[in-house]
Structure 1
Amino acid sequence: MTATLALIGGTGINRWPGLDVVQPHRLETPWGPPSGPLIEGRLGGQSVVFLARHGDGHKIPPHAINYRANIAALAALGITRVVAIAAVGGIAEWLAPGGLALPEDLIDYTTGREHSYSDGRPGAPLDHVEMTPAYDADLRADLRLAAAASGVTLCGEGVLGVTNGPRLETAAEIRRLQRDGCDMVGMTGMPEAALAREKGLAYACLAVSVNWGAGLKGGGSIHAEIEASIARGMTQVQALIAALISGAAATA
């Protein structure tokens, strides 16, 4: 397999449009099976791998995803760079529904998730990985260049707060996230980012704002807001990724 770049799709992108499938890889790992097959394919003439974080049909809730198996399977397949797409709620004024952000840092509010390969089992090394910076600087720089090349606007960078889900946050919780310095909130960014760091994978997140955080704006159906924002945001994500892949091909 020649692919070194993987795309992890979340809410709104369970399959990658335009991906010419070459082969699905069904891997087992010491931590169990990943969310689904790792789909090897060609996009813009280049080899990539796609993994649906929530499984086929978007059935696995955020807190029940086997993050360790997902990242371990990608590493075992020879992936070295991962772009994770995440649907988020906008907290900062600059991240309205439909907008894209490139988070530069994160705060983990999750509980009960298997969050490390250093789990005390026999043979597992004790690895205190460095999480500063939280995301790979070179991959983020490539994503900025791809956004400029594709005409896609990145609204900002900022801090992603990661909550357990699957329920949405209360208005008081969103106010707390604001006080903590979070610009957006999602449910899948951790332990995914930390596990990628443990496996030595360059990892970055593209965050798509699909709604305002609870209590900030509006007052209508939040689910209707999400539905209306997903298609617009994911269209931009696809254009940006196409530019990232073509740019990588140009410099290869």
Structure 2
Amino acid sequence: MRIAIIGGSGVYDPKILADIGEEKVNTPYGEVILKVGSFDGEKIAFLARHGENHSIPPHRINYRANIWALKKIGVEMVLATAAVGSLNPNMQPGDFVFVDQFIDFTRYVRPFTFFEGGETGIFHVDVSEPYCPEIRKTMHEVAQEMGLRNHIGGVYVCTEGPRYETPAEIRAFAKLGGDVVGMTNVPEVVLAHEAGLCYGLVCIVVNMAAGMPEAILGHEETMMVMASVTDTLKNFLMKVVERRPRGRRCRCPVTAGPLKV
């Protein structure tokens, strides 16, 4: 099972797959329940990041258990989705953004590494290239072919949540080079790197961030935008799976830590 899809806000079901079943995976951090189905001749795992009913807030997601479980079942490539706010006027609601960098403004309520000393040892992961360039390239090509408004490259600013950011914070993030803001990608992407997984993220802009022109913040607004692009997003993900790189020519496996799963 080489491929996994991590669905963010608004992407809770794996109906894009056939022959769907359930698999429970035990990890040192707790049990993870995955949906498993098939597409294009491969078994694919599906994980709803917030739970099937959006019951888990961003700062309470068990990121370590999720990534450990994917590694344990043999996953090599992760396609993740995230609903984000935009602090870049060129990135408007409904746009797809394939980010290539992040800035971490979480406050360490969430455990952020597998390597805490003791039995796991200490390891300093290289995140010079946080998001797999091969997956990002494929995502961009598919988006272009589908005629989607998209941006290749961008900086994801991760905040602790679950509150939205203040206009002052958004202005500060923009001055630091941020393009979109969300609450879930760190430590998920870092843990994926520690585990040696190829990780690609498609961000869907659902609103302009606080203080930006036409900013409307709220979970209902997020769900409305996501509902309007859900079918397109599912179609997009399946086309990316069809076009997936058959080998791993990137450096993602090289940066992995000595994780014993």
TM-score normalised over the length of structure 1? 0.91
Secondary structure of the residue aligned to 1:191 is helix
The structure-2 alpha-carbon separation of the partners of 1:181 and 1:31, relative to structure 1 and needing over 3 Å to count, comes to: same
Name the structure 1 match of 2:144: 148
Secondary structure of the residue aligned to 1:117 is coil
Judge conservation of contact 2:59–2:161 (CA < 8 Å) in 1.
yes
Where structure 2 has 5 or more consecutive residues not aligned to the other structure, the ranges are 248-261
Write out aligned runs for 1:2-151 (5 A). Answer: 3-34=1-32, 37-111=33-107, 112-120=109-117, 122-151=118-147
The structure-2 alpha-carbon separation of the partners of 1:220 and 1:57, relative to structure 1 and needing over 3 Å to count, comes to: closer
Judge conservation of contact 1:208–1:234 (CA < 8 Å) in 2.
no
1:46 positional shift: 3.8
Judge conservation of contact 2:22–2:34 (CA < 8 Å) in 1.
yes
Secondary structure of the residue aligned to 1:41 is strand
1:220 positional shift: 5.1
1:179 positional shift: 1.1
The CA deviation string for residues 44-92 of structure 1, in whole angstroms up to 9 with x for no partner, is 5542110000112110000000100000000001000001100000110
Judge conservation of contact 1:46–1:245 (CA < 8 Å) in 2.
no
Q: Give the aligned length.
A: 246
Secondary structure of the residue aligned to 2:25 is coil
Q: Which amino acid aligns with 2:14?
A: W
Write out aligned runs for 1:197-236 (5 A). Answer: 197-218=193-214, 222-236=218-232
Where structure 1 has 5 or more consecutive residues not aligned to the other structure, the ranges are none
Name the structure 1 match of 2:258: none
Name the structure 1 match of 2:250: none
Q: Which amino acid aligns with 2:125?
A: V
Write out aligned runs for 1:148-227 (5 A). Answer: 148-218=144-214, 222-227=218-223
The structure-2 alpha-carbon separation of the partners of 1:222 and 1:156, relative to structure 1 and needing over 3 Å to count, comes to: farther
CA distance in 1, matches of 2:217, 2:243: 40
The structure-2 alpha-carbon separation of the partners of 1:42 and 1:206, relative to structure 1 and needing over 3 Å to count, comes to: same
TM-score normalised over the length of structure 2? 0.88
CA distance in 1, matches of 2:216, 2:202: 26
Q: Which amino acid aligns with 2:224?
A: A
Judge conservation of contact 1:150–1:243 (CA < 8 Å) in 2.
no
CA distance in 2, matches of 1:137, 1:20: 28
The CA deviation string for residues 16-35 of structure 1, in whole angstroms up to 9 with x for no partner, is 3332244311111012223x
The CA deviation string for residues 129-175 of structure 1, in whole angstroms up to 9 with x for no partner, is 10011111112122222223333332342100000111111111111
CA distance in 2, matches of 1:162, 1:220: 19
The CA deviation string for residues 177-201 of structure 1, in whole angstroms up to 9 with x for no partner, is 1111100000000000000000000
Q: Once superposed, what is the RMSD of the aligned Cα atoms? A: 1.9
